[in-house]
Amino acid sequence: NAGVTQTPKFRILKIGQSMTLQCTQDMNHNYMYWYRQDPGMGLKLIYYSVGAGITDKGEVPNGYNVSRSTTEDFPLRLELAAPSQTSVYFCASSALTGSNQPQHFGDGTRLSIL
């Protein structure tokens, strides 16, 4: 019953450092998403993927990169961390067809850039 698993749960980075947030799902979902949630705000879509090898930008992609080499994994990379990227990051997945499918979320990664 793992669902969507994100690692790490917490991380502190210095400005300019890089890191990869890991996300894996075991539900064989084709669609995967990365969101960020700033304090007191809703979720904003960073990147999404409709299947292995296919990714596309969401609302706030600047400063991030993604890859999707397998159905299960969808890592998010920060190349040059900036204070504005301090946020909680959520990975989600949904089943193949139709916009009626709920998105299943991981527990989030709380990231602080100092």
Partner 1 sequence: AQKVTQAQTEISVVEKEDVTLDCVYETRDTTYYLFWYKQPPSGELVFLIRRNSFDEQNEISGRYSWNFQKSTSSFNFTITASQVVDSAVYFCALSEARGDNFNKFYFGSGTKLNVKP
Which residues lie near partner 1 (CB under 8 A)? 31, 33, 40-43, 45, 48, 50, 88, 90, 92, 94, 96-108, 110
Do the Cβ atoms of 46 and 36 come closer than 8 Å? yes
- Closer residue to partner 1 (CB): 63 or 104: 104
Edge-first strand listing for the sheet containing 76-78: 4-7, 19-25, 76-78, 64-66
- Closer residue to partner 1 (CB): 81 or 92: 92
Distance of CA 114 to the CA centre of its chain: 21
CB of 16 to partner 1, least distance (A): 27
CB of 8 to partner 1, least distance (A): 14
Helix (H) or strand (E) holding 47: strand 43-51
CB of 82 to partner 1, least distance (A): 23
- Closer residue to partner 1 (CB): 5 or 17: 5
Helix (H) or strand (E) holding 23: strand 19-25
CB of 58 to partner 1, least distance (A): 8
- Closer residue to partner 1 (CB): 19 or 45: 45
DSSP, collapsed to helix, strand or coil, labels residue 83 as helix
